[in-house]
Amino acid sequence: MTSPTEGKASDAAASLLHSGVRVSIELPEGPMGGACVAVVSSHNGDEVVLDLLDDLPEGDIPVGSNLGLFLPRHAGIYHWPCALVALRASGGAQGARLRLLSEALFVQRRLGQRWGSQLEAEVRRVRSARRSAAHPMKVLDLSRGGLKLEGPFQLSTGDTLEMTVDLGPEVQLVGRAVMAYPTASGQWAAHVSFVDGQREALAVVAGYITRRSQPEP
| Amino acid 30: pLDDT | 47
How far from the centroid of its chain's Cα atoms is residue 94's Cα? Answer: 21
Helices (H) and strands (E) in the chain, counts: 2, 14
Sign of the CA dihedral with 159 first, then 164, 165, and 168 last: positive
Cα atoms in the Cβ-side hemisphere of radius 13 Å centred on 21: 22
Domains of the chain by residue range: 4-108, 115-213
Q: What 3-state class would DSSP assign to 151? A: strand
Cβ–Cβ under 8 Å, residues 128 and 191? no
The CATH code of domain 4-108 reads 2.30.110.70
Contacts of 22 (CB under 8 A, 6+ apart): 37, 38, 39, 40, 158
Please give the Cα distance from 160 to 157 (Å, whole number).
9
How far from the centroid of its chain's Cα atoms is residue 47's Cα? Answer: 21
Cut 0.85: pTM above it: no
Provide the β-strand partners of residue 169.
none
Question: What single-letter DSSP state applies at residue 155?
Answer: -
* Run means of pLDDT, 10 residues per run, the chain, 217 residues: 39 76 74 70 92 72 85 76 85 84 74 66 85 93 89 86 94 88 80 90 92 71
Please give the CATH architecture assigned to the domain spanning 115-213: Beta Barrel (2.40)
At residue 155's C-alpha, the angle toward residues 106 and 101, to 5°, is 30
How far from the centroid of its chain's Cα atoms is residue 53's Cα? Answer: 16
Please give the Cα distance from 208 to 39 (Å, whole number).
39
State the DSSP H helix or E strand holding residue 71, giving kind and residue range, or none if neither. Answer: strand 66-73
Please give the Cα distance from 55 to 128 (Å, whole number).
7
